[in-house]
Structure 1
């Protein structure tokens, strides 16, 4: 039997017994492509949702063995030569511990995809991670690369699974890759052409609450940062960092990169040499031009962007830096950013009624993202709460309290936000729509959001923004952040009569 760690796209994987734990989009893509290569594939997942059963039926006809039931991932099958895991699996999951003990390689779908690149058409990867803004930045980057006439795709944690991208028979020129810390944890040999860490703040710390022998030395935040920093290892051209977040620059300093790779900062202020930044409402480049010691090149203006919210501008600068490192022209950066519009539930104006603006930023699923959103508005009725994932809100409340007209709380961990407000903004009115005093919510998620909107409308004044920026995940009360945003938008439109 061949050693899977020595195999690539053009090798026969016949006889390799591959186990895939997790059967979401990336897991199913891994199964499909491993089958194509000739491996014996077994997939395991804890859920038998209808969409998973449909995928399973198709892949079983191609020869996969698929177990979808509670407890399916509790143990590692005896016959296993490689384990490909979903990023949702913590490193102390029994199936991963068993693989390590037996000397079986553990890969994520990202690592598998890197190993399956075509040696004759190795499309470079431009990679993005960070606590917030990853999806927006990668989609901006994709738009810029397409404006440059390149065949590209957004893949990884957004868009196409990476194994599908690298196995496409019509090879891409370049791939814009979004990577979460979970995905990066299971990366070994991947080396991006250029990479960016947008920011570092508390998020998903519950995932990193591990024994030292599993998680390594340091705090949970140290472990989270280390995984983010993996994106820089082996970078060939540019390590893009956030000049306003020194932790991202520290990760660049610690990374082992190809000789000649450059550190490129982005800033919302006037950029120094070797940076991109802003001068008089113009995004400029002082990193990739010959005269960078004495001048800056215009990339685009604020008028070219969908919004001038500070975090959106920062994302645009990071995307521009990665594209410029790849050799894209200034004009393509401008055209790509001008064409880009963010996905729904990201600073989306739902309605303007009686002088009050209602904004859906349901995608703000951690305190850092919520803080970025709050900074875009002067006077806010903040709608927040959900699953805090171990995060704290003291810093967010301290930095935003002067903007808060009132706060409307919902969700399981709303008390974490309420406690931060009581410590740092005790004069800000707080309405808890899920408290026993307000009575039980009768009906579905829509009924809960109608109560939220009514409460917000009761305290909002002309000139205010009612902002859904929960700072928390949604799964305690909604299917996902999109369902939460949809429920908010529907309730707002019903209340204001703007449907």
Structure 2
């Protein structure tokens, strides 16, 4: 059997390793010579001009997430009737371990991590995998009781038989329209998380989110809504400062509505997958937002400096902005075909500092006199320092991808933290 892996980044390499463990003949496609330079000698490498012979012999194509379906090799494989799988479904064919899954525009990683933590605190051998950064293909041989799989729209787009026994949709707002082409196509990809579920499978979502609430109406699953603002019918929520998960009651952490909804979904999933009340309680008590997610990096002279570099779309940025009373907003980067106008026009934004490729869009949308531009993040921090007054929050919530200026949102957030830390030390 010949397996052709499309893409030699993290997921592709994990799929390659799994295919090699099956004693399959493996071909890896990537147009970046550096990506395929250090592969094992037994692996054949091809690119856009040399794949034809390899494709003729292939019985399976494994597509790495994020690569377009319009790639010539993918279209040719489809035209030849060759089976095409995403990396996650390829891995699932090698395991019998139960799994649950999480998707959504924002909050996926928080819900995935918290669900796994609740199960681990309950004595279960749980493993968080998928879009969270650990490919499932690399975890196939692990001794796990349950996998918690974070699924992006790209991973779900190629799904054909994905069937989690429990699933969560955190929210659905416009994102990645530069790839999916329309909000409808993006939503349809997200909906694939429940396509194969039935009434014995659980589906939870944030009932306060219009996008998720609309999509789940098509599901045949057992529906369990959650809300950070109340207790929805048939679901879980917050009442009088208590988090309600079925007949379990916990003190609700003071983490704001977005993270509260994330924790409600995590607890709903974890309980379904075998978590204990004590395990859920311990995780809720220890919860802290992850780095680059509304991370306060300094509080000086009454001014808070907050890193939310993970806010890579307007939906996430707006949720962040609304968490603070007065915001000096650092926004911009590489837009993904989304409307950035709400960011500088949010009522508690007193000044916007625009950075990156999307600067013209932000300037055009902002009220007169409410926006300045910066050629670098360093300059943006300096400008914010010169205009911030006690009570302000200087918030990095870009609403855009980072790739015009940085390798990732992580690098962008790290640079912001370093700049602020240096500024504080020098003051």
**Normalising to structure 2: TM-score of the pair?**
0.94
| Residue among 165, 187, 199 paired with 1:193 | 165
Where structure 1 has 5 or more consecutive residues not aligned to the other structure, the ranges are 1-15, 210-219, 290-296, 435-447
Q: Which residue of 1 aligns with 2:321?
A: 374
1:161 aligns to 2:135 (yes or no): yes
Alignment RMSD (CA, Å)? 2.0
| Residue among 412, 416, 419 paired with 1:484 | 412
Q: Which residue of 2 aligns with 1:39?
A: 24
Separation in structure 2 between the aligned mates of residue 42 and residue 469 of structure 1, nearest angstrom:
41
Q: Which residue of 2 aligns with 1:420?
A: 365
1:225 aligns to 2:187 (yes or no): yes
Asked whether the equivalents of residues 329 and 396 of structure 2 are also in contact (C-alpha less than 8 Å), the reply is yes
Larger deviation, residues 234-243 vs 379-388? 234-243
Asked whether the equivalents of residues 76 and 95 of structure 1 are also in contact (C-alpha less than 8 Å), the reply is no
Asked whether the equivalents of residues 292 and 308 of structure 2 are also in contact (C-alpha less than 8 Å), the reply is yes
Aligned residue for 1:402, secondary structure, equals coil
Where structure 2 has 5 or more consecutive residues not aligned to the other structure, the ranges are none
What's the CA shift for 1:80?
A: 1.5
1:176 aligns to 2:156 (yes or no): no
**Per-residue Cα deviation, 1:361-416 (whole angstroms, up to 9, x for no partner):** 11111101101111111100000000111011234455xx2211201110011222
Separation in structure 2 between the aligned mates of residue 262 and residue 419 of structure 1, nearest angstrom:
45
Separation in structure 2 between the aligned mates of residue 36 and residue 351 of structure 1, nearest angstrom:
48
Q: How does 1:312-323 map to 2 (within 5 A)?
A: 312-323=259-270
**Per-residue Cα deviation, 1:187-234 (whole angstroms, up to 9, x for no partner):** 11110010011111111001012xxxxxxxxxx111100000000122
Aligned residue for 1:405, secondary structure, equals strand
Note closer, same or farther for the CA distance 1:467–1:160 as it changes in structure 2 (3 Å cut): same
Q: How does 1:38-437 map to 2 (within 5 A)?
A: 38-49=23-34, 53-54=37-38, 56=39, 59-60=40-41, 63-67=42-46, 77-117=55-95, 122-168=96-142, 170=143, 172-209=144-181, 220-235=182-197, 236-255=200-219, 257=220, 261-285=221-245, 288-289=246-247, 297-302=248-253, 308-398=255-345, 401-421=346-366, 426-427=367-368, 429-434=370-375
Note closer, same or farther for the CA distance 1:410–1:144 as it changes in structure 2 (3 Å cut): same
Asked whether the equivalents of residues 100 and 167 of structure 2 are also in contact (C-alpha less than 8 Å), the reply is yes
Aligned residue for 1:106, secondary structure, equals strand
What's the CA shift for 1:300?
A: 3.6
Separation in structure 2 between the aligned mates of residue 312 and residue 483 of structure 1, nearest angstrom:
23
1:475 aligns to 2:403 (yes or no): yes
**Normalising to structure 1: TM-score of the pair?**
0.81
Q: Which residue of 2 aligns with 1:17?
A: 2
Separation in structure 2 between the aligned mates of residue 53 and residue 354 of structure 1, nearest angstrom:
51
Asked whether the equivalents of residues 140 and 316 of structure 1 are also in contact (C-alpha less than 8 Å), the reply is yes
Note closer, same or farther for the CA distance 1:360–1:49 as it changes in structure 2 (3 Å cut): farther
Aligned residue for 1:314, secondary structure, equals helix
Asked whether the equivalents of residues 310 and 372 of structure 1 are also in contact (C-alpha less than 8 Å), the reply is no
**Per-residue Cα deviation, 1:219-262 (whole angstroms, up to 9, x for no partner):** x111100000000122342111221123323322213x4xxx41
